[in-house]
Structure 1
Amino acid sequence: MIRHRLSLEEFQALLEKAPEGLRLELLEGEVYEMAPIGSEHASLVTYLAKQLERLYGDRALVYVQNPLRLSPHSLPQPDLALLKPREDFYRVKLPEPEDALLVVEVSFSTQEVDLKKLALYAQSGILEVWLVEEGGNLEAYREPRGSHYRHRLLLEPGEEIAPLLLSHPPLLWNPPRGTPPA
């Protein structure tokens, strides 16, 4: 069986015909349907977006659940990215790996796909990726080599981390927890 890898142009044409609200991403020419966003996932993305904006918003653009062009066959939509600032806010051209200061994926029900994306981020030269795991731990991957990262840091709630390219001030990793109000 011969498989056809979609190009970005073919994928864009597919998106134009897709039902409203269907979330898709292109990874190495293959189309993946993205999982629905649950309340815990949304809460963590919102928490991180607020913290990253507060700490680094004067030096980076906080980019939430938008496409990042990795190659002619890969257009993932990371949960968050910190991008180099640009006057047009990437209106003219989607951000590419050299624009990304940090990529963040909240990895609950999507761990298998997120690990595939992690390899693609490394191959693309993205210097740092954070994976947020169910349970509140954060894995930071740094210094890409081929399809892997040389360093992996595991943070538990209460520990500090700062993106390599925006080293100060550090983020206190303290994700939202608890039971919702009755």
Structure 2
Amino acid sequence: MTVAPDEVTLEEFEALAEAAPESLQVELINGRILVTPAPDGDHSEASRTVARQIISERADLWLYEERGLAVPAYRAGRARVDGAVAPHGYFRGQPSWSDPEGVLMVVEVTSGTEGDAEVDRIEKRDAYAQAAMPVYLLIDRHRGEVTVFWEPVGGRYVHESRVAFGAKLPLPDPFGFDLDTSELA
């Protein structure tokens, strides 16, 4: 059954997401319900590569994996991000779909098909910019590259920088270090 996005309430979406099997992730991005496969092992290792470097450079921050965020883009949204970088303890006491205000960076790792990757490249990028997420890091396993977007203004990221796997990617403030992508190659 196909349901138009404006026919689904947040409560209905959250019930659907809760009932989904562990093999699927269900998100509500820009008014569309997206269903993608659960991450594989290489996906998890890519997240760990980023997490290890962030913790090494910024002991006050943590990369929270598979975190649900209420992403209030032009329509109410719910994103299950691969990683949310925030101060230690930020999510304490928050619900399953947390307030993203204190999140400093969102990390996504492509998985599934090329079509699934387009969601991370375009739809999620735009939703995160509209939600004023300060930094969006995309690890694109299909293209073998890492892109960082930062400084959201008017629902779009002003800056973007991209490197091929194996190169170092300078991360903007508040990170201020070069992300080593050699383990992703």
Q: Same fold (TM over 0.5)?
A: yes
1:63 aligns with 2:69: no
In 2: Cα distance, 1:17 partner to 1:141 partner: 33
Show the 5 A alignment for 1:51-130.
51-56=53-58, 58-71=59-72, 73-86=76-89, 89-93=91-95, 94-108=97-111, 109=113, 110-114=116-120, 115-130=122-137
One-letter amino acid of the counterpart of residue 124, structure 1: A
1:38 aligns with 2:40: yes
1:162 aligns with 2:168: no
Query: 1:20 offset after TM fit, Å?
Result: 4.6
Asked if 2 retains the 8 angstrom alpha-carbon contact of 1:82 and 1:101, the reply is: yes
Structure 1 stretches of 4+ moved >4 Å: none
In 2: Cα distance, 1:38 partner to 1:21 partner: 10
Whose radius of gyration is greater, 1 or 2?
Answer: 1
C-alpha RMSD over aligned residues: 2.4
One-letter amino acid of the counterpart of residue 180, structure 2: L
Asked if 2 retains the 8 angstrom alpha-carbon contact of 1:141 and 1:153, the reply is: yes
Query: 1:112 offset after TM fit, Å?
Result: 1.6
In 2: Cα distance, 1:124 partner to 1:40 partner: 28
Corresponding position of 1:180: none
Query: 1:145 offset after TM fit, Å?
Result: 2.2
Gaps of 5+ in 2: none
Q: Could you say what secondary structure the match of 2:80 adopts?
A: coil
Asked if 1 retains the 8 angstrom alpha-carbon contact of 2:151 and 2:159, the reply is: yes
Relative to the length of structure 1, the TM-score reads: 0.80
Asked if 2 retains the 8 angstrom alpha-carbon contact of 1:79 and 1:104, the reply is: yes
Gaps of 5+ in 1: 178-182
